[in-house]
A = this chain, B = another copy of it.
Amino acid sequence: MDALDILKQHNIKATIQRVKVLEYLMNCSIHPSAEDIYMHLKNELPMISLSSVYNILIEFEKNNLVNKLMTDNNTIRYDYTKCKHYHIYYSDGKIEDFEDKELDNLISEYFNKNYPNIVNDNDINVVINIKNKKDK
């Protein structure tokens, strides 16, 4: 399903800015910051403003179209909400998707068995931190 349909489905008015932001999020794999998105879109959409990117991301987050990824260097990164997956954080800033159904099940089952009342599946995240060689 393409960006336009997704916006319609969520009753979000499909402005050109929103379509472009969503398209970029759907197709890129870098887990961009708001600034990254803005920089990328300026090429094809020179009039877009950084404010709009922030506004749009807030709107998308409310509708669960994107997830915020926490980082420890004070910048929020965004991830298009597709099927459940985890993330590998590299020390150079790269964030990589990590998909593993078997691990999903393992963890789901474990929490359902041991903490059935506290947590539901989607609340649990696995974060993998890897140091790049250069960074000692």
Count copies of this chain in the complex: 2
Binds B, one of A18-26, A47-55, A125-133: A125-133
The distance in angstroms between the C-alpha atoms of A119 and B127, with both chains bound, is 11
Q: Which residues of B contact A129 (CB under 8 A)?
A: 123-125
A119 to chain B, nearest CB (A): 6
A98 to chain B, nearest CB (A): 9
**Cβ contact within 8 Å between A110 and B119:** no
Given that A70-B72, A106-B110, A110-B106 are known contacts, is A126 also in contact with B128, CB under 8 Å in the complex? Answer: no
The distance in angstroms between the C-alpha atoms of A74 and B130, with both chains bound, is 22
Q: Which residues of B contact A102 (CB under 8 A)?
A: 110, 114
Q: Which residues of B contact A123 (CB under 8 A)?
A: 128-130
Q: Which residues of B contact A71 (CB under 8 A)?
A: 70
**Cβ contact within 8 Å between B125 and A127:** yes
A81 to chain B, nearest CB (A): 14
Is A103 among interface residues, defined by CB-CB distance under 8 A? Answer: yes
Is A58 among interface residues, defined by CB-CB distance under 8 A? Answer: no
The residues of A with any CB-CB pair to B shorter than 8 Å are 68-72, 74, 76, 100, 102-103, 106-107, 110, 114, 118-119, 123-130
Q: Which 10 A-B pairs have the closest CB atoms?
A: A70-B70, A125-B127, A68-B72, A70-B72, A123-B129, A124-B128, A123-B128, A70-B71, A127-B127, A126-B126
